[in-house]
């Protein structure tokens, strides 16, 4: 985060907060779609894991770019 400067840090924080809000909204929607049975619950958690991995990959790309 040091390489981003103050404005970049604020933007990153806002972006992460927005992503968390979106991911939470997706989980709420999936609760209505898939229900709360064990099998359906597994699908929700698999989707959550994929979202987290996608976000981590994106943040890693950002880090690689900033470190150049």
Contact in structure between 46 and 10 (CB atoms under 8 Å)? no
Domains in the chain, number: 1
Q: What is the DSSP letter of 7?
A: H
Domain that holds residue 63: 2-67
Phi-psi region of 5 (alpha: psi -120 to 50; beta: other; left: phi over 0): left
Contact in structure between 1 and 12 (CB atoms under 8 Å)? yes
User: What's the pLDDT tens digit per position in 27-58?
Assistant: 899 888 888 777 778 888 899 999 999 999 99
Provide the whole-model pTM.
0.78
């Amino acid at each position: 985060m040091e390489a981003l400067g103050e404005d970049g840090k604020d933007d990153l924080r806002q972006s992460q907060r927005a992503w968390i809000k979106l991911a939470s909204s997706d989980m709420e929607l999936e609760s209505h779609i898939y229900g709360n049975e064990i099998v359906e619950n597994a699908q929700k958690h698999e989707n959550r894991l994929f979202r987290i991995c996608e976000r981590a990959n994106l943040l890693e790309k950002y880090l690689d770019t900033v470190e150049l």
